Chains A and B, each alone.
Chain A
Amino acid sequence: MYAPGRHRLVWVLLLLPALLIVLGLTVYPLFQVGFLSLFRYDYTAGTKEFIGFFNYIEILKNRFFLTSIRNTVVFAITATAAEVIGGLLLALLFNRPFRGRRLILPFLILPMMLSTMVVSAIWRAWFHFDYGFLNTVLGSVGLGGVRWLFDPDLALFSIVLVDFWQWTPLAFLILLAGLQSIPNELPEAAKVDGASRWQLFQNVTLPLLRNPLLLAVLLRTVDSFKLFDKVYALTGGGPGLATETISMYVYREGFKFFNVGAASAGSIVMLSLSGVLAVVYAWKILKGQV
């Protein structure tokens, strides 16, 4: 047996490279971004001027940034709700044996294996007003074409649809694993006691699925908050500001205009919003385990 002090030292040494990487790639950049957000910093000209919280005041008055916050929150809530509910329905369906189950399952999870740019290219073609698959199908049943990506009221929800198609399988897998971890005795006992299907779902299945549900909601919410790639590929943030997200705003300020101070302030605001959500969910999950 190792003496306790030396034992701990070995583990610390083994963990040290990983810790250094986490500190270097996560903690240090976080503090650096926070520090830079207090400056007016034109990267190309190399000029830096301390302005305190002025960047935050400016962006929180900026129409574009406020719209991007609203769009990001709406997207995160809508996409997460749709994906978790969709995932739950699929998980309930696949939690029972049926013919062809093993054959269908791989195709069901295929969308989440594809890269987001491939998914966006597919859906951009499907959304085309004149030649797209969706409007062609609608036309074949006598309905008019839909302005999927260029109607300012619809564009964001079209991107929700794309995200739903790609990431519902993830929620499905998490919830299916959760369902399959429920001991059979409990629903059987409830059936014996005369519980209806709905009562069984409401009073037995759902409570036991609480933690996987919260996990699915947490993962999808945090990921949705970072929405950038689909918007970049499908709409560029348009039409108008309809699909402008916080990530797009930060990208433009930071990498097109190289206004590093303003971009850093935008990043900190985004981190704060998603951080609060993550802490709330994580606390609920851990509270359930106490």
Chain B
Amino acid sequence: MKRLQFRCLSVLFLVFSLLLVGVLPGFAKAEGNLVIAGRDGGYGKALELAVRMFKAANPGVEIEQLKLPYGSLYEKLVISFREESGAYDLVMLDDTWATEYMANGWLLDLETTGFRVGDDFISTALSVGRYPYKSGSLYALPIVGNVELFAYRKDLFNKYGLGEPKTWLDVLEAAVKIDTSERDVAGVVFRGTKGNPIVTGFLPILWGFGSRVVDDKGGSGLNSPNALAALTFFLKLKRYAPQGVELYNSSEVRDALQQGDVAIAIEVWPAWIPSLDDPKVSKVVKKIEIQAAPGLISGPSPMLGAWLMGVAEDSKNRDMAVEFLQFLTSPKIQKQIALEVGIPPTRASVYKDSSLVEKYRWYPSQLKALEDAHPRPRITKWSEVEAILGDYLQLALTGSLAPEKALGEANERISAVLSR
């Protein structure tokens, strides 16, 4: 009897194990549910608000929202699209990823669905969702009107008789003056962490000095005297930055500004600018002036950093996904998200709304910056190019490589990537 029991148990255990291995992959996405892959943080809260409102207006619709960090979102989307898993209906993407996604046919052409765009969207932000850039079909809509802005302490500038910084040389002059005169205030702060942080801080300087990462022929543009001048200037700024700036990221820059520890931040983002005027966290309420990044050889070159949303080409809920996208980008919802969460809109009419301008005094400057904004190069390999440039910028920043050598090696490696 015991022998029989043991044999039965063994067989049952074996069958159960094999079934488990066979059944687990069967937990696929249920039909009719929308799955949105998006960012975490403030962006996640904004989407959550929109999802709640959409569900209230459309009872019976189930929406699953994923909130993911930047790197993780990119990885998951690429793998899902390459494997044609159909895991997501709507995807949030950085504008730098858009060219790759559109070129690979991963996003639905919105114009084939009868979608009407209108002319209220800010054209620079709308253009990056087109492939080819500016003129082609529309594959993604801008949902976050991010543009890199520049911030400075107006009170300190007035104290030392410094005017509004129009060029990068004005910025350096102000940083030197304030850093040497104020005991506990550094002249300037920026993100020095390698990769995307340091590159986004450096790009407006590079453009201001008349250089580009990718030239008009599609090759590397870093092998130029202007690029070297830009990098040399960037390293000069570091002398007037707080200790440890090599590892600063968004939170450190924001905290340094909020606590009154720095006079100038060369890169601030709309998503957290409102906190500068929040007395609960900021010691510099109403003292910070926001404007587009200065120029020099070229005019002001604010960097576009829009977040887009597209419908996955392999989505099984296209109609519902397009309907949600229209809802999310409508003026009413953009205004509500801006008011409640602080995420910047992408429609010009919303920027001019009096209740928003009253709450966010820099909105007129932000709209102007968006209208003048430059996107990063529209290439499929931007992630790799940015990582290489970020590595070498940090090597130069830490003094591990001379600027000429850093730019030279970066130029060589980026050229190799662009030629693939």
Spell out A's residues near B (CB within 8 Å): 2, 10, 13-14, 16-17, 20-21, 42-46, 64, 128-130, 145, 147, 149-150, 152, 235-242, 252, 255-259
Contact = CB atoms under 8 A, between A and B. Distances in A.
B104 A45 contact: yes
Contacts of A16: 14, 17
A14 B13 contact: yes
Contacts of B3: 2
Interface of B: 3, 6-7, 10-11, 13-14, 17-18, 21, 71, 74-75, 78, 82, 100, 104, 192-195, 242-247, 261, 380, 383-384, 387, 391, 394-395, 397-398, 400-401, 420
Nearest to A232: B71
A251 to B, nearest CB: 9
Nearest to A62: B413
A257 B391 CA distance: 14
Contacts of A129: 242-244
Contact of B394 (A2, A21, A46, A239): A239
Contact of A241 (B195, B245, B395, B420): B395
Given A44-B104, A240-B398, A257-B383, A147 B17 contact: no
B96 to A, nearest CB: 12
A150 B244 contact: yes
Given A257-B383, A257-B384, A239 B13 contact: no
B244 to A, nearest CB: 4
B394 A240 contact: yes
Contacts of A128: 244
Chain A binding surface, main DSSP class: loop
A129 B14 CA distance: 58
Given A13-B14, A239-B398, 16 more contacts: A13-B10, A14-B10, A44-B78, A45-B380, A130-B243, A147-B243, A149-B244, A152-B398, A238-B398, A239-B247, A240-B398, A241-B395, A241-B400, A252-B387, A256-B71, A256-B75
B246 A43 contact: no
Given A13-B10, A147-B243, A152 B387 contact: no
B244 A238 contact: no
A130 to B, nearest CB: 7
B247 A14 contact: no
A46 B82 contact: yes
Given A44-B100, A130-B242, A256 B387 contact: yes
Contacts of B17: 16-17
A240 B395 contact: yes
Contact of B194 (A13, A236, A255, A258): A236
A121 to B, nearest CB: 11
Contacts of B104: 44-45
B247 A20 contact: no
A288 to B, nearest CB: 37
6 contacts: A16-B14, A129-B243, A130-B243, A236-B195, A240-B395, A256-B75
Given A14-B14, A20-B21, A239-B394, A150 B247 contact: yes
Contacts of B74: 256
Contact of B193 (A42, A238, A252): A238
Contacts of B243: 129-130, 145, 147, 150
Contacts of A259: 384
Nearest to A235: B247
A236 B70 CA distance: 14
Contacts of B14: 13-14, 16-17
